[in-house]
Structure 1
Amino acid sequence: MTIDDISTISGGLFATGALFILLIFSLLSFGILRMFQQKIRAGWFSFAGAVVSAGAFALILDQWFV
């Protein structure tokens, strides 16, 4: 195993990553919960929100941090 230097990661990148990871996985888990509750339409909307959030995250990373 190697030691990685993470001191070059900016605070903005860390906060953006943490925020979007929480958002995406929250929507995915909420969608799974809604599917188990037999609320299929609300579940698919949550899955769609997770996909849109992942796309927005990729776009923000590409525009601001790359």
Structure 2
Amino acid sequence: MTLVDVSQISAALFIVGAVFIMLFFSLLSLGILKMFQQRFRAGIYSFVGAVVSGVTFGIILERWFV
């Protein structure tokens, strides 16, 4: 295993990445929880929110950091 140099990552990129990762996985886990609770509409909305946040994250990365 080798060490990874993360000194080239800006603070803004780190914060944007952390926020979107937390948002994406919280919506995904909430959707799974709602599906197990038999609340399918709320689960589907959470899955759609996770997909929308993932696409938004990709667009923001492309526009601001690439």
TM-score, structure 1 normalization: 0.97
Compute the RMSD of aligned alpha carbons: 0.6
Given residue 27 of structure 2, which amino acid in structure 1 is its aligned partner? L
Aligned length: 66
Instruction: Give identity over the alignment, percent.
Output: 62
Given residue 37 of structure 2, which amino acid in structure 1 is its aligned partner? Q
User: Could you list the runs of 4 or more consecutive aligned residues of structure 1 that deviate by over 4 angstroms after TM superposition?
Assistant: none
What CA distance in whole angstroms lies between the structure 2 residues aligned with 1:4 and 1:27?
Answer: 29
What CA distance in whole angstroms lies between the structure 1 residues aligned with 2:31 and 2:21?
Answer: 15
Which consecutive residues of structure 2, in runs of 5 or more, have no partner in the other structure? none
TM-score, structure 2 normalization: 0.97
User: Over residues 12-61 of structure 1, what are the superposed CA-to-partner deviations in whole Å (9 max), with x where a residue is unaligned?
Assistant: 00000000000000000000000000000100000000000000000000
Q: Which residue of 1 aligns with 2:43?
A: 43
Q: Which residue of 2 aligns with 1:18?
A: 18
What CA distance in whole angstroms lies between the structure 1 residues aligned with 2:56 and 2:62?
Answer: 10
